[in-house]
C-alpha cells in the first residue's frame, strides 16, 4: 500500500500528500513547543497547561457542526487554504511577542483558540475533500498514505522540535510550524483538479437554500441512525476521554518529575512516529488476518494497556519505558485510525461527508477539551500517576464498545457502491 497502488500516478493527490507531510511535521513541533513555552518559559503548572491544550479543541464542540454544513455548501479546497493561512498567522505571533518580551499566557490562550478554529475548518473540509479527489475505490489507499504522513511527522517532528527547543527556545520553534502551513497553502493552490459545485444551481435552490437547522439535522440523523457510525462515535468519544485526560500531566510530569529535557522528550515521541510508519505498512495484512472489527478493538486495547504501563517510568529507566509505550501507541493507533476513518468515509454519501465528519468532530473531539480540563484538575489534586492510570482505564472501555458492537462483527471494509 505504501509503494504500490494507483495513487502514485495521481499528481493532485501527491501534491496534497506532500503538503500535508510538511504541515504535519510542523504541527508535531507545536505539540511539543506550545506547552513547553507555558511550562519552562512562563513557569505554569498542570492546570494552566490543561486549559491551554483544551482551548485548541474547544472550537470543535462549538463550531464543527456549522463548519460541516458550510463545507457541504462550498468548495472545500479554498476553505482549507483559508484555514491554513489563519493558523500560520496565529503561530507567527508567538515568536514575535517573545522577541519583544511581551509574551503572556493570555496570548498563548488566544493562539490556541485560533489554532482550534483553523483546525476545525481544515479537518472537516479535508476529510470531505479526499473522497472527491481520489474516488471511493481508492479511499483506503489514500487514507493509508496520508496516515503514513502522520507517522513520518511523528517520526521527524518531535525529534526536530526537541532539538530546536534546546537550540533556539520553544517560542521561536513555533515559527517553523507557521512556515509549514505556508507550504501547505502553496501545495493546495497547486492542485489542478477542479471541484464540482457542491449543490445544484437550479432556480429553486438559488432562491430557497436549505436551512441551517435542516442541514445540521440531516448530518446528525445519518450518524445516529447508522449502527456502524453510532458504534464508532461512541467508541471514539470514550477513547478521547481516556487518552486526553493524560495530555496536561504528561509534559509537566516528564519535565519536573522525570527530569527529561525537551530534546530527550522529543526523541521518545519519535518512537511513536517510527512505529506508526510500520503500522501503516502492516494495516492491510492485519485486516486480512484478524478481520476489521477485531483488529480495531484489539488496537485500542493494546494502546490502553500501554498507557497503564506508563507510570512504571517513575521506578524504571524512564526513557526506555517511554520508548516502549510510544512505540506500541504509534503502531496500533495508526492501524486503528486508517481503518476507522476509511470505514466511515466508505459508508457516507459524498454530499454528506462534511456533515458526517463535523458530527464526529463535534462529539468525540468535543470530549477532548473536557478531558484536558479534567486532566489538569486531577493532575493538580491527585498527581500525574493516578491521572494516567484513570485515563488508561477509561480508554480500555472503548475497546469493549467496539468488540460488542456491530463493528466488532465486521471482517472487511464495505465494497464501494
DSSP 231-269: HHHHHHHHHHHHHTTSHHHHHHIIIIIS---HHHHHHHH
Q: Which three cell numbers stand for residue 71?
A: 463545507
User: Above 60 in pLDDT, residue 221?
Assistant: yes
Q: For helices 227-243 and 367-381, give the axis angle rounded to 10 degrees.
A: 30
- For residue 337, give the nearest of 306, 296, 291 by alpha carbon: 296
User: Above 90 in pLDDT, residue 29?
Assistant: no
Domain membership of residue 25 (yes or no) is: yes
Residue 146 contacts residue 131 (beta carbons within 8 Å): no
Domain membership of residue 271 (yes or no) is: yes
Domain membership of residue 396 (yes or no) is: yes
> Which CATH number characterizes residue 322's domain?
1.20.1250.20
pLDDT category at 202 given cuts 50, 70, 90 is very low
Q: CA 250, CA 257: separation in Å to the nearest integer?
A: 10
User: What's the Cα-to-Cα distance from 182 to each of 92, 117, 136, rounded to whole Å?
Assistant: 11, 17, 29
Residue 254 contacts residue 260 (beta carbons within 8 Å): yes
Domain membership of residue 285 (yes or no) is: yes
Q: What pLDDT, in 10s, does the model give residues 101-143?
A: 999 999 999 999 999 899 888 988 887 788 778 776 777 777 7
pTM to 2 decimal places: 0.70
**Greatest distance between any 2 Cα atoms in the chain:** 70
Domain membership of residue 223 (yes or no) is: yes
User: Which residue did the predictor score with more confidence, 350 or 251?
Assistant: 251
Q: What is the pLDDT of residue 206?
A: 38
Give the mean pLDDT of 136-154: 72
Domain membership of residue 179 (yes or no) is: yes
Q: CA 211, CA 150: separation in Å to the nearest integer?
A: 36
Domain region containing 219: 6-191+212-409
Domain membership of residue 196 (yes or no) is: no
Q: CA 410, CA 343: separation in Å to the nearest integer?
A: 10
Q: What pLDDT, in 10s, does the model give residues 253-281?
A: 888 888 888 888 877 777 777 787 788 88
Q: What pLDDT, in 10s, does the model give residues 354-410?
A: 778 778 878 887 788 888 888 888 988 898 899 999 999 999 999 999 999 999 898
**Which of the residue ranges 114-118, 124-128, 207-211, 330-334 would you say has the lowest mean pLDDT?**
207-211
Q: Which three cell numbers stand for residue 190?
A: 497547486
Domain membership of residue 181 (yes or no) is: yes
pLDDT category at 67 given cuts 50, 70, 90 is confident
Residue 338 contacts residue 326 (beta carbons within 8 Å): no
The total number of structural domains that make up the chain = 1
Q: Which three cell numbers stand for residue 273?
A: 512516529
Angle CA 153–157–159, to nearest 5: 135
pLDDT category at 4 given cuts 50, 70, 90 is low
User: Above 60 in pLDDT, residue 252?
Assistant: yes
Q: CA 121, CA 49: separation in Å to the nearest integer?
A: 24
Amino acid at each position: 500500500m505504501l509503494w504500490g497502488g494507483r495513487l502514485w500516478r495521481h499528481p493532485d493527490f501527491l501534491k496534497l500528500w506532500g503538503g500535508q507531510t510538511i504541515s504535519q511535521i510542523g504541527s508535531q513541533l507545536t505539540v511539543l513547543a506550545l506547552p513547553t513555552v507555558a511550562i519552562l518559559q512562563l513557569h505554569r503548572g498542570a492546570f494552566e497547561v490543561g486549559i491551554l491544550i483544551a482551548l485548541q479543541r474547544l472550537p470543535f464542540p462549538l463550531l464543527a457542526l456549522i463548519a460541516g454544513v458550510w463545507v457541504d455548501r462550498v468548495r472545500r479546497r479554498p476553505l482549507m487554504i483559508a484555514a491554513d493561512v489563519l493558523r500560520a498567522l496565529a503561530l507567527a505571533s508567538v515568536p514575535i511577542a517573545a522577541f519583544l518580551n511581551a509574551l503572556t499566557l493570555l496570548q498563548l490562550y488566544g493562539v490556541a483558540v485560533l489554532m482550534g478554529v483553523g483546525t476545525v475548518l481544515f479537518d472537516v473540509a479535508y476529510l470531505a475533500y479526499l473522497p472527491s479527489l481520489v474516488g471511493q475505490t481508492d479511499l483506503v489507499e489514500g487514507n493509508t498514505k496520508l496516515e503514513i504522513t502522520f507517522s513520518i511527522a511523528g517520526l521527524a517532528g518531535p525529534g526536530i522540535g526537541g532539538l530546536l527547543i534546546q537550540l533556539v527556545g520553544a517560542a521561536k520553534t513555533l515559527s517553523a510550524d507557521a512556515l509549514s502551513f505556508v507550504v501547505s497553502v502553496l501545495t493546495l493552490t497547486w492542485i489542478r483538479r477542479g471541484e464540482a459545485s457542491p449543490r445544484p444551481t437550479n432556480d429553486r435552490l438559488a432562491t430557497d437554500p436549505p436551512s441551517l437547522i435542516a442541514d445540521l439535522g440531516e448530518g446528525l440523523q445519518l450518524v445516529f441512525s447508522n449502527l456502524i457510525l453510532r458504534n464508532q462515535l461512541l467508541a471514539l468519544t470514550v477513547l478521547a476521554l481516556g487518552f486526553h485526560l493524560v495530555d496536561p500531566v504528561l509534559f509537566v510530569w516528564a519535565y519536573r518529575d522525570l527530569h527529561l529535557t525537551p530534546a530527550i522528550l522529543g526523541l521518545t515521541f519519535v518512537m511513536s512516529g517510527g512505529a506508526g510508519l510500520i503500522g501503516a505498512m502492516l494495516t492491510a495484512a492485519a485486516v486480512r488476518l484478524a478481520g476489521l472489527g477485531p483488529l480495531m478493538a484489539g488496537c485500542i486495547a493494546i494502546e490502553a494497556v500501554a498507557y497503564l504501563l506508563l507510570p512504571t517510568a517513575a521506578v524504571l529507566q524512564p526513557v526506555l519505558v517511554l520508548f516502549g509505550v510510544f512505540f506500541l501507541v504509534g503502531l496500533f493507533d495508526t492501524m486503528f485510525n486508517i481503518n476507522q476513518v476509511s470505514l466511515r468515509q466508505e459508508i457516507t454519501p459524498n454530499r454528506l461527508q462534511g456533515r458526517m465528519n463535523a458530527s464526529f468532530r463535534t462529539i468525540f473531539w468535543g470530549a477532548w477539551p473536557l478531558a484536558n480540563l479534567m486532566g489538569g484538575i486531577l493532575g493538580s489534586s491527585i498527581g500525574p500517576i493516578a491521572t494516567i492510570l484513570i485515563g488508561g482505564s477509561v480508554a480500555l472501555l472503548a475497546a469493549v464498545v467496539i468488540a460488542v458492537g456491530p463493528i466488532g462483527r465486521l471482517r472487511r471494509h464495505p465494497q464501494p457502491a
